[in-house]
Each structure stands twice: as C-alpha cells, then as structure tokens.
C-alpha cells in the first residue's frame, strides 16, 4: 500500500531541505564573497583613488584610467604581452596536439610516456626558470656549447633584446603536458566507427584528420586556447626572475602584470596598479566573449542520440 504524506509533512520536509541546502552552500557563498567579490569591488574602488598604503585613499575619479592612455611604458608592456600571447598560444597548442596524437597511437607503455610528458607541467615555475637559465647560459649552457662545437656563434639568449622573448616562450612551452592530456582525452572520446567508415570510403589519414579529428576536437581546442590565452596575458614569474623585475634591456620582458606589480608593490601606487589590473581584466573578458561568439561557427558539438531523435 502507498502512504501519502500530508500537506503539513511535505511543507516541513521542504523547509528542512531548503534549510539544509542553504546550510551547505553558505560556506561557499561566504568564501566567494570574501575572497572574490569583495576584493574585486575594493580593487575597483582603489583604481579610482590615489593610495600608497601609508595614507588613506584619496578619491580622484577616473584620473588613473586617463593616465593609462599616455603611459608609454605601459604601451610597451601591452605590445610585449600581445606578442607573447600571439606567438606562445598557437605554438604551444600545436605542440600539445601533435604529441597527443602521437601518444594516442602508442600501444605499449602509454601510461609511462604520459607521465614523462606531463612531469614538466607540474614542476614549479621557479624551478623551470632556473633550469632554463642554465640551459640558455651564454658561456656554459648546453645549447651554446653545441653551437661552439659546430663552430657557430653562441647566442646571448637572455641578454639580447631580440632573443629574450623567444627564450621566454620556449621556457613556457616546456609545460605543454597539461594541454596534451586534455587533447588526448578528446581524441579518446572520438568514436572509432567514424574512422572505420571513412577508411572504407577510401579516405586517407590526412583527410580523416581534417574531416573527423579536427572538427570533433574543436570543443577541446577552444577550451585549451582560452585557458592558454588567459594564462598568457598574466605572464609574470619567469619575466620577474629573469630581469629582477626591471623588464630587462629596453623593457624587452616588461609585461602588463610585471608593470602592475612594479607600480603597486615597488612604487606603492596601488591606485594606478588597480587601474592597470582592471584594464587587463577587461581585455581578457573582451577576448573571451569574442572567442565564444566566433566559436559558434567553427566549434562542432556532437549531438547525442536523444538530440538527433528530437
């Protein structure tokens, strides 16, 4: 026999469920407000002030934002940052995709190779920078030792303006392992039936790549590219370690976050530093929104069986 609950019992149970729901979610909401929303609001307020920590903030309106347009060193930092993003993101994405496809073909020892390729991604960035500082050393670095052995001119990787940004990009590409694993997961999710059917129709491996692999990997590629771009816009640690925060000769490694850090924490100008941070946040938000809008034309989401029936 079925026992039906009374209206009073249902109301009591609903109230208890609602109370439990808010009880579980309250710590998350508190942390979200205290550690995310609160600092965001306060940083925007600071961007409208002149503040050096030692004295109370002085409200100056949008003067800090007006100053951004006339700051030639900030323009240099923006140029360096955009160059880094434009070069690093495609190269690192392509490297991760190629290695994921090679690893996808491995039949023996896949877990071992996966671990080996992923290890650099979990190395602390400071350790990676120190390692490559030795690799690119002008006198004792292995790269220049090989060049000398071949009777070629050694390259001042970390002191010449021309080679400093490429060296930094090579360092950053060392951590391709995380993206490689994401691509590998996307490749493993592609049904093998698609490749079998295309092989029966006479499609070559190259055509399968363009017509099957790339379209079905497009959501994965979008995710990888967006996360890489967001991270690339915030490049800081490596540039700071290589130049001690100065940006190097002719500001070759002066990036936006490094410039922000110098103003806020070295010069004590937290108001202007906050304005730079909000400018960078707006740039990243615009790029993300535009990418998501454009992706509707190029990203293919496979329909489930239920969707096709409907």
Q: Which of the two residues, 112 and 301, has the higher pLDDT score?
A: 112
What pLDDT does residue 6 have? 53
Shared domain for 194 and 271, answered yes or no, is: yes
Position 143 in a domain: yes
Q: What is the pLDDT of residues 48-92, one digit of tens each?
A: 999 988 889 999 999 999 999 999 999 999 999 999 999 999 999
Shared domain for 276 and 133, answered yes or no, is: yes
Residue 305 in this model has a pLDDT that exceeds 80 = no
What pLDDT does residue 16 have? 82
d(CA 193, CA 28): 44
Shared domain for 183 and 39, answered yes or no, is: no
Position 308 in a domain: no
Q: Can you give the chain as a three-state secondary structure string?
A: CCCCCCHHHHHHHHHHHHHHHHHHHHHHHHHHHHHHHHHHHHHHHHHCEECCCCCCCEECCCHHHHHHCCCHHHHHHHHHHHHHHHHHHHHHHHHHHHHHHHHHHCCCCHHHHHHHHHHHHHCCHHHHHHHHHHHCCCCCCHHHHHHHHCCCCCCCCCCCHHHHHHHHHHHHHCCCHHHHHHHHHHHHCCCHHHHHHHHHCCCCHHHHHHHHHHHHHHHHHHHHHHHHHHHHHCCCHHHHHHHCCCCCHHHCCCCHHHHHHHHHHHCCCHHHHHHHHHHHHHHHHHHHHHHHHHHHHHCCCCCCHHHHHC
Residue 5 in this model has a pLDDT that exceeds 90 = no
What pLDDT does residue 276 have? 96
What pLDDT does residue 296 have? 81
309 — pLDDT class (breaks 50, 70, 90): very low
d(CA 55, CA 271): 12
| CA–CA distances in Å: residue 286 to residues 62, 87, 262, 290 | 21, 19, 25, 6
Shared domain for 103 and 211, answered yes or no, is: yes
Shared domain for 200 and 294, answered yes or no, is: yes
Most confident of 210-219, 273-282, 290-299: 273-282
What pLDDT does residue 306 have? 41
Shared domain for 31 and 142, answered yes or no, is: no
307 — pLDDT class (breaks 50, 70, 90): very low
Q: Please give the average per-residue pLDDT across 24-34, as a whole number.
A: 87
Shared domain for 24 and 143, answered yes or no, is: no
What pLDDT does residue 302 have? 63
Position 309 in a domain: no
The residues, any chain, with a CB within 8 Å of residue 56's CB and separated by 6 or more, are none
CATH number of the domain where residue 282 is located:
1.10.3720.10
Q: Please give the average per-residue pLDDT across 1-29, as a whole number.
A: 72
Of the given ranges (47-56, 115-124, 268-277), which has the lowest mean pLDDT? Answer: 115-124
Shared domain for 33 and 111, answered yes or no, is: no
Structural domains of the chain, count? 2
User: 183 and 217 in contact (C-beta within 8 Å)?
Assistant: yes
Q: Please give the average per-residue pLDDT across 255-264, as a whole number.
A: 96
Position 307 in a domain: no
* High-pLDDT (> 70) share of the chain, %: 94
Position 55 in a domain: no
Which two three-digit tokens encode residue 257? 């976050």
Domain of 27?
Answer: 7-47
Q: What is the pTM of this model?
A: 0.86
Shared domain for 98 and 17, answered yes or no, is: no
Residue 94 in this model has a pLDDT that exceeds 90 = yes
User: 229 and 287 in contact (C-beta within 8 Å)?
Assistant: yes
Shared domain for 95 and 137, answered yes or no, is: yes
Shared domain for 32 and 114, answered yes or no, is: no
| CA–CA distances in Å: residue 18 to residues 10, 28, 105 | 12, 16, 51
Residue 152 in this model has a pLDDT that exceeds 50 = yes
User: 193 and 274 in contact (C-beta within 8 Å)?
Assistant: no
What pLDDT does residue 134 have? 93
Q: How far is CA 2 from the centre of its chain?
A: 56
Residue 146 in this model has a pLDDT that exceeds 60 = yes
Task: Give which of 177, 151, 147 is closest to 163, Cα–Cα.
Answer: 147
Q: Please give the average per-residue pLDDT across 254-260, as a whole number.
A: 96
The residues, any chain, with a CB within 8 Å of residue 153's CB and separated by 6 or more, are 147
Task: Give which of 288, 245, 202, 287 is closest to 77, Cα–Cα.
Answer: 245
Position 85 in a domain: yes
The sign one gets for the Cα dihedral 294, 297, 302, 305 is: positive
9 — pLDDT class (breaks 50, 70, 90): low
Position 284 in a domain: yes
**How many of the other CB atoms lie within 10 Å of CB of 48?**
20
Shared domain for 222 and 124, answered yes or no, is: yes
């Amino acid at each position: 026999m079925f026992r039906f609950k009374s209206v009073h019992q249902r109301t009591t149970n609903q109230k208890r469920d609602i109370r439990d729901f808010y009880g579980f979610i309250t710590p998350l909401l508190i942390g979200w407000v205290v550690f995310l929303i609160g600092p965001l609001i306060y940083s925007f307020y600071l961007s409208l002030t002149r503040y050096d920590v030692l004295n109370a903030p002085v409200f100056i309106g949008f003067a800090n934002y007006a100053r951004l347009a006339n700051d030639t060193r900030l323009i240099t930092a923006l140029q360096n940052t955009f160059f880094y993003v434009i070069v690093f993101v495609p190269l690192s994405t392509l490297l991760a995709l190629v290695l994921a496809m090679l690893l996808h073909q491995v039949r023996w020892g896949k877990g071992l190779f996966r671990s080996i390729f992923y290890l650099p991604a979990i190395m602390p960035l400071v350790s990676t920078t120190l390692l490559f500082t030795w690799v690119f050393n002008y006198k004792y670095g292995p790269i220049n030792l090989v060049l000398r052995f071949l009777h070629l001119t050694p390259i001042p990787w970390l002191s010449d303006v021309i080679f400093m940004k490429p060296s930094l990009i090579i360092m950053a590409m060392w951590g391709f392992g995380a993206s490689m694993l994401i691509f590998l997961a996307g490749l493993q999710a592609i049904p093998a039936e698609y490749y079998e059917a295309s092989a029966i129709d006479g499609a070559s491996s190259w055509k399968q790549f363009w017509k099957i692999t790339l379209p079905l990997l497009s959501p994965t590629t979008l995710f990888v590219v967006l996360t890489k771009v967001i991270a690339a816009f915030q490049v800081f640690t490596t540039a700071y370690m290589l130049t001690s925060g100065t940006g190097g000769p002719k500001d070759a490694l002066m990036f936006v976050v490094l410039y922000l850090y110098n103003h806020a924490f070295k010069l004590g100008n937290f108001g202007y530093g906050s304005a730079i941070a909000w400018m960078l946040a707006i740039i990243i938000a615009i790029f993300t929104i535009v990418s998501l809008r454009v992706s509707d034309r190029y990203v293919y989401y496979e329909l489930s069986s239920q969707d096709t029936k409907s």
